[in-house]
Structure 1
Amino acid sequence: MPFAPPDSFLVVRGTEIAELIDGNRDACVEAVRDAYLTHARGDSSLPHSAFLRLPGRERERVIALPAYLGGRFDVSGVKWIASWPENVRHGLARASAVLVLNDTGTGFPYACLESSVISATRTAASAVLGAQELIGARHAERAGFIGTGLIADHIRRFLLELGWKIGGFRLFDVDEKAAGRFARSLRESDMPDVEVAGDAREVFDSCDLVVLATVAGTPHLDDPAILRHAPTVLHVSLRDLDPSVIAVAQNVTDDVDHVMRERTSLHLTEQRLGHRGFVDGTLADVMEGRLARDPGRAAVFSPFGLGVLDLAVGKWVYDRTIERGGGSPVHGFFPVA
């Protein structure tokens, strides 16, 4: 029987995706876990992300993340995500994205999913999974958030839905109103001991779990003493910590080659030290027992955000959408050969 293009091309809206994810964040974490382990086994293809910047506008960028993920997923595709920081001043989201899924038998794309929700979900799932593996439990005496925007809110939702036991929260954002809104959302969820801190140092000093979810383009935390009490740090925004801070930590990432790019804190540390020996291993190493947490040092998880994670969550969303008869099929999208 000759191969033929798919009968339709499925478009899945962000509202549909958000409804699927809400109440199923444990399944998203498991999809991300499986993606990391599948990637670690070599059953993936992950070219470097391509960064498109406009002349003279370095803060704005569009990133293409192509990937193939095998195992139970067997899917290829690409996320195309734009970051326009000035959007927030006009009441628009900073990030916008789509995820295109391709059939691995014919190469035809068969779905386009709104992906700002998927991207934020896989980022939060990765961070919370990293915290769980490095702490060894879903528990923190006090959690701190430096940066209280969209990604921080998604991480908050994962912590709550997955039943984390957290004794208190400390929050800091250069936008005091954003920190105040985040504090209200925590209090409305009956979270205890919620306070807005005066600066980032105060958050570090009072918390054993710290989430860095800023929009910083260059390191702004340069005192290694902030890690003296050996906290677990989720360095989601990747560019907050000076190399002098990175150098004293137990550093865990998701893919060493990928994270050593685009002037991340780990990339800057490699440039300063001239080697990569300060990276202890990957999250897959931790999950599979090849790397143990050093209780005497802070553990800093710096996930680059791999395209295979978008595919894992995107494929999960697509499969659930098909089961529910959702999405918007576009019939006749492809010409008949």
Structure 2
Amino acid sequence: MSFPRVDFLYLSEPDMIKAGVRDVIGCTNCMEEVVKLLYKGDYRMGGESGNSHGCMVQFPKEPEFENMPKDGPDRRFMAMPAYLGGKFDMAGCKWYGSNVENRNKKMPRSCLMLTLNDKETGTPVAHMSANLVSAYRTAAIPGVGVKLLAKKDAKILGIVGPGYINNIIIETFAALRPSLDTLKIKGRGKESIDRCIEYVKKNCPQFKNFIICDTIEECVRDSDIMNFAVSTPTGGSETYPWIEREWVKPGALICTVGALNTSEDFIADPKTKLVVDNTKMYDTWAEEYPYPTFEKWFIFGSKFTDMIHDGKLTKDRMEDIGGIASGAIPGRESDDQIILYSIGGMPVEDVAWGKTCYETALKMGIGTKLNLWQEPYSY
């Protein structure tokens, strides 16, 4: 930058695609670097602890004002600021609004933008379309889990919630485990299931078998890898998808970027390995959504922190994927070990993948240069 003049780069969604935002292997490798930095501590997010997921605007179930939005699944606005060190060395903030009813307008559930900022001056470096940034980094964090924890010869992938995010997760998992050849799908309606199968046939030709499941149990049984990505339910943990220990295949990796619930006995069993994307963020959630956190906040790892609160689980049972990626914590310890992996998502991931795509855009001459000021107005 040449101060005091400030220019920044605007990147539209087509620009981001040209800059490689859909590179699932590149994004997974990027997220592996991110989780290592998280484990090391070279980052900051919101709040005094530096571990807040973000600041969320939620709405009442029955607003007293006529024009105020009403609570519903994924109905919120959210700002997610972060700084990430290492080779990224960048600050930024993702802002989004979300509403499941957007599908009636043929719009994505969430509309997102990401701003990258110079860490010294706070001035904008780039402002970019972030729906794909967010989607692909969301898929890449469980992708790191598959890379490090899934059995090498995994053949059967099961997914609950055949929406856009799970489509990209399937694509990511397939690239990381070419042995996958069977896809089991549990969805709410034929339309979303058909869209998912069409996407997979186009982008992941290694899948030869498609099994549409009527129940979650059917989907979970015999699956080597599972991922849950359903719209955020409201009304407490009884509304979350449920799995039984007896359904789960020995050696399975169960990932969830959405809601999931199971028995405390299954979680507490010392043979079950519990992995999260950042233990410090889960501790912060436990402060922001006081016990019982899992009743208010659907992320699966919050059930772990509630059980720790109750003395039913020791803190050391929650293991960081960053510790595994760094070699400080062992990964899979046996072929029949069941691993439960909770993914909450963090703005450091958006900053990392956004910065990576921004650097590619600069090299390729992609985007529109915009001027903030020639020199700032003098008060």
Q: What is the TM-score of this pair, normalised by structure 1?
A: 0.90
User: What is the aligned partner in structure 1 of residue 275 from structure 2?
Assistant: 252
User: What is the aligned partner in structure 2 of residue 111 from structure 1?
Assistant: 126
> How far is 1:160 from its partner?
4.1
The alignment status of 1:229 with 2:250, answered yes or no, reads: yes
Please tell me whether the aligned partners of residues 304 and 318 of structure 2 are also in contact (alpha carbons under 8 angstroms).
Answer: no
1 CA distance for matches of 2:8 and 2:22? 27
Q: Find the partner of 1:285 among 312, 323, 332.
A: 323
Q: What is the TM-score of this pair, normalised by structure 2?
A: 0.81
> How far is 1:335 from its partner?
5.0
2 CA distance for matches of 1:74 and 1:22? 19
Superimposed CA distance per residue, residues 78-104 of structure 1 (whole angstroms, 9 cap, x where no aligned partner)? 111222111123321101111111101
Structure 1 residues 4 and 22: alpha-carbon distance in aligned structure 2, compared to 1, 3 A threshold:
closer
User: What is the aligned partner in structure 1 of residue 299 from structure 2?
Assistant: 264
Q: Find the partner of 1:241 among 261, 267, 271.
A: 261
SS of residue matched to 1:207: coil
> How far is 1:264 from its partner?
2.2
Q: Find the partner of 2:345 among 305, 313, 319.
A: 305
Structure 1 residues 269 and 10: alpha-carbon distance in aligned structure 2, compared to 1, 3 A threshold:
same
User: What is the aligned partner in structure 1 of residue 198 from structure 2?
Assistant: 184
Structure 1 residues 62 and 232: alpha-carbon distance in aligned structure 2, compared to 1, 3 A threshold:
same
Q: AA paired with 1:21?
A: G
2 CA distance for matches of 1:144 and 1:297? 18
User: What is the aligned partner in structure 2 of residue 199 from structure 1?
Assistant: 215
Please tell me whether the aligned partners of residues 124 and 154 of structure 1 are also in contact (alpha carbons under 8 angstroms).
Answer: yes
Matched residue pairs, number? 334
Superimposed CA distance per residue, residues 133-177 of structure 1 (whole angstroms, 9 cap, x where no aligned partner)? 01264x412111111111111112223445622131111111222
Q: Report the more deviating stretch, 321-330 or 47-56.
A: 47-56
2 CA distance for matches of 1:222 and 1:210? 11
Structure 1 residues 284 and 263: alpha-carbon distance in aligned structure 2, compared to 1, 3 A threshold:
same
Q: Find the partner of 1:212 among 225, 228, 232.
A: 228
Structure 1 residues 246 and 18: alpha-carbon distance in aligned structure 2, compared to 1, 3 A threshold:
farther
SS of residue matched to 2:19: helix
1 CA distance for matches of 2:356 and 2:5? 20
Structure 1 residues 227 and 160: alpha-carbon distance in aligned structure 2, compared to 1, 3 A threshold:
closer
> How far is 1:292 from its partner?
2.9
The alignment status of 1:81 with 2:71, answered yes or no, reads: no
1 CA distance for matches of 2:349 and 2:137? 6
User: What is the aligned partner in structure 2 of residue 127 from structure 1?
Assistant: 142
Please tell me whether the aligned partners of residues 77 and 99 of structure 1 are also in contact (alpha carbons under 8 angstroms).
Answer: yes
> How far is 1:333 from its partner?
4.5
Please tell me whether the aligned partners of residues 67 and 307 of structure 1 are also in contact (alpha carbons under 8 angstroms).
Answer: yes
1 CA distance for matches of 2:169 and 2:18? 17
Superimposed CA distance per residue, residues 68-123 of structure 1 (whole angstroms, 9 cap, x where no aligned partner)? 11110110011112221111233211011111111012121221111111000101
1 CA distance for matches of 2:80 and 2:263? 26
2 CA distance for matches of 1:330 and 1:243? 53
Percent identity of equivalent pairs: 20
2 CA distance for matches of 1:269 and 1:73? 31
Alignment gaps of 5+ in structure 2 = 47-51, 62-69, 286-296
- Give the root-mean-square deviation of aligned CA atoms: 2.3
Structure 1 residues 126 and 161: alpha-carbon distance in aligned structure 2, compared to 1, 3 A threshold:
same
User: What is the aligned partner in structure 2 of residue 30 from structure 1?
Assistant: 29
User: What is the aligned partner in structure 2 of residue 329 from structure 1?
Assistant: 369
Q: AA paired with 1:336?
A: P
> How far is 1:29 from its partner?
1.6
Alignment gaps of 5+ in structure 1 = none
